[in-house]
């Protein structure tokens, strides 16, 4: 116990727990770097497949490498029939993140090589998980709405194929492009909560499926990946631009958060939000529902002003602020926004698990074991004397 009994609640802010070559976030400058590349340079010029290759294999693929990697991903897309049958037994109102999380150990059960811990076997597992996440989410959406499952289409890339399996029709060019950009932007973000959860489990030498299962659980929380769902619910609750200010005042007065703003690391607008904003505008306009974008813009402006006035501090956009209206305008059900985040972040998680388990001295894989400060004062400074059951 520390002497002055002060409560420690910093949540590891400012603590460096490992070295990594995968990505970096410069919160002051608003820079996000994937293996040396600024995300702004990658967002609109690469496919998610290229980014997954970059994260897993430390290089942007050349044409031949991309062709091979894409073929590998396509081959691994099929979800074992037994897993689909198991999903059909789940209550239709199950939370989609729970469905995703529950599916991962089932994928492990179908890994014939599960006892093989070689780098190649673990890379295969990463490819398999990246390939299968979209199919699990799409299958769950079809099952819960009583529709036939749409098998993957080998003609389509990762982004288009997910939308195709979800809705049963090939997306138009805008939807495919914007969804791909969304996948690229959400793929990796250094030691955020879910990545740290995955790495922490990987540090025990548990297998990749166990690590990724932890990552999905962590992402589901509303302060992390779950925030994109809350942003859309918030926009719907507000309903129109003229109600924005009342909403902000009510929420802040009640001590509640405005979702999609604020970040543990960024001290300027999240660069990903700035890329997603114009896409959200285009898509909302395209479906004749520009008000979602308009409400978002007013909410951004008024929340920033309210923070200046109330807390004498600046608050900034995070990635979830505009992904919400973008995905909504693409016809993705709101409760699938966080699973969609996971479809992308699985690339980052698996890259981190590989780094944690195989990077050797560079990343110094070590079992994470932080200290805690014991503040239990049940019997004063001494230990309690044991009371037998009949004397309690
Ligand atoms: C992400 C988040 C948990 C980071 O919190 P943090 O590390 O404590 O951020 P800061 O240190 O900058 O917060 C400073 C203050 O602003 C408050 N704050 C931060 N974001 C806020 C928000 N979106 N709405 C209301 N208040 C917020 C904090 O509670 C804190 O208040 P306090 O000083 O009275 O304790 C927080 O910004 C948040 O809850 N955001 C909304 C949820 C969200 O969008 N999550 C997705 C993140 S990518």
Q: What are the catalytic residues?
A: 263, 320
Ligand 1 centroid–CA 310 distance in Å is: 14
Mean pLDDT of all residues in 117-138: 97
- Say yes or no: CB of residue 259 within 6 Å of ligand 1: yes
Interatomic CA distance for residues 220 and 226, integer angstroms:
5
Q: Which residue's CA lies nearest to atom 19 of ligand 1?
A: 262
Residue nearest to atom 3 of ligand 1 (CA): 223
Interval between CA 145 and ligand 1 midpoint (Å) = 36
3-state DSSP call for residue 340?
helix
Angle at alpha carbon of residue 320, lines to 277 and 278, rounded to 5°: 5
* Segment holding 142, helix H or strand E: helix 119-144
Distances (CA, A) of 143 to 100, 134, 279, 327, 378: 13, 14, 30, 20, 51
Average pLDDT over residues 116-120: 95
Start-to-end CA distance of the chain, whole Å, equals 27
Q: At what angle do helices 173-186 and 337-358 cross, to 10 degrees?
A: 40
Residue nearest to atom 8 of ligand 1 (CA): 264
18 CB within 6 A, ligand 1: no
- Mean pLDDT computed over 369-375: 89
Contact 47, 162 (CB under 8 A): no
Cα three-residue angle 59-65-71, rounded to 5 degrees:
125
Ligand 1 contact, 264 CB (< 6 A): yes
Domain boundaries of the chain, sorted by first residue: 37-226+332-362, 230-328
Residue 374 C-alpha from the chain's centroid = 32
How many angstroms separate the CA atoms of 193 and 73, rounded? 27
What CATH number does the domain located at 37-226+332-362 have?
Answer: 1.10.580.10
pLDDT, residue 12, reads 87
pLDDT at position 365, please? 58
257, 271, 302, 348: residue to mutate for ligand 1 pocket, most atoms within 8 A of CB: 257
Alpha-carbon 81 to chain mean position: 26
Give the confidence band of 360 by pLDDT, cuts at 50, 70, 90.
low
Does the pLDDT value for residue 361 go beyond 90? no
CATH classification number, 230-328, choose in 2.60.120.10, 1.10.490.10, 3.30.1490.20, 1.10.230.10: 1.10.230.10
Determine which helix (DSSP H) or strand (DSSP E) holds 37, and give its type and residue range.
Answer: strand 37-38
Q: Pick the closest to residue 260 from 193, 330, 306, 316 (CA basis).
A: 316
pLDDT at position 138 is 98
The reported pLDDT for the residue numbered 203 is 93
CB of 263 shorter than 6 A to ligand 1? yes
CB of 262 closer than 6 angstroms to any ligand 1 atom: yes
What is the CA(13)–ligand 1 centre distance, in A? Answer: 13
Q: Enter the tokens of residue 218.
A: 């962590």
Q: How far apart are CA 359 and CA 113, in angstroms?
A: 22
Distance CA 219, CA 104 (A): 14
Could you tell me if the CB of 52 is within 6 A of ligand 1? no
Closest C-alpha to ligand 1, atom 38: 262
Query: In the numeric block, which tokens belong to residue 217?
Result: 């659980």
247-291 pLDDT, tens digit per residue, is 999 999 999 999 999 998 899 999 999 999 999 999 999 999 999
Q: Around Cβ 58, how many Cβ atoms within 10 Å? A: 14
- Measured CA to CA, the distance from residue 348 to residue 279 in angstroms comes to 23
The dihedral built from the CA positions of residue 376, 378, 383 and 385, taken in this order, carries a sign that is: negative
DSSP run (H or E) holding 379:
strand 378-381
- pTM for this entry: 0.94
* Residue 262 alpha carbon to ligand 1 centre in Å: 5
pLDDT in tens, 168-211: 999 999 999 999 999 999 999 999 999 999 999 999 999 999 99
Is pLDDT of 362 > 60? no
Q: What backbone torsions phi and psi does residue 241 show, to the nearest 5 degrees?
A: -60, -35
CA–centroid distance, residue 223 to ligand 1 (Å)? 9
């Amino acid at each position: 116990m520390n002497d002055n009994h002060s409560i420690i609640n910093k949540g590891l802010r400012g603590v460096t727990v490992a070295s990594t070559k995968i990505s970096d976030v410069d919160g002051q400058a608003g820079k996000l770097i994937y293996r040396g590349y600024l995300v702004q340079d990658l967002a609109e010029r690469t496919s998610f497949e290229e980014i997954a290759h970059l994260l897993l294999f430390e290089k942007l693929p050349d044409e031949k490498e991309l062709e091979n990697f894409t073929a590998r991903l396509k081959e691994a897309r099929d979800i074992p029939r037994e897993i689909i049958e198991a999903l059909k037994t789940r209550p239709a109102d199950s939370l989609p993140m729970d469905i995703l999380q529950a599916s991962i150990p089932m994928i492990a059960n179908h890994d014939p090589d599960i006892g093989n811990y070689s780098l190649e076997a673990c890379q295969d597992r990463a490819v398999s998980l990246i390939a299968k996440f979209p199919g699990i989410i799409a299958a769950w959406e079809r099952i819960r709405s009583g529709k036939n499952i749409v098998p993957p289409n080998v003609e389509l890339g990762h982004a288009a194929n997910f939308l195709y399996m979800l809705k049963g029709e090939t997306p138009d060019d805008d939807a495919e492009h914007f969804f791909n950009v969304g996948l690229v932007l959400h793929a990796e973000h250094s030691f955020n909560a879910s990545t740290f959860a995955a790495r922490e489990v990987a540090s025990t030498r548990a297998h990749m499926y166990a690590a990724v299962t932890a990552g999905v659980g962590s992402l589901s929380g509303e302060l992390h990946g779950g925030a994109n769902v809350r942003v859309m619910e918030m926009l719907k609750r507000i309903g129109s631009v003229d109600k924005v200010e009342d909403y902000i005042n009510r929420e802040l007065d009640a001590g509640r958060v405005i979702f999609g703003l604020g970040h543990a690391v960024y001290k300027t607008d999240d660069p990903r939000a700035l890329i997603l904003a114009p896409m959200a505008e285009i898509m909302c306009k395209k479906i004749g529902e520009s008000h979602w974008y308009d409400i978002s813009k007013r909410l951004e402006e008024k929340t920033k002003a309210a923070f200046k006035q109330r807390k004498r501090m600046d608050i900034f956009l995070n990635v979830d602020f505009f992904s919400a209206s973008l995905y909504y305008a693409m016809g993705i059900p709101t409760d699938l926004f966080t699973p969609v985040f996971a479809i992308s972040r699985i690339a980052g998680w698996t890259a981190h698990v590989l780094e944690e388990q195989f990077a050797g001295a560079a990343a110094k894989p070590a079992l994470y074991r932080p200290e805690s400060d014991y503040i239990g004062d049940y019997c004063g400074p001494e230990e309690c004397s044991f009371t037998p059951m009949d004397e309690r």
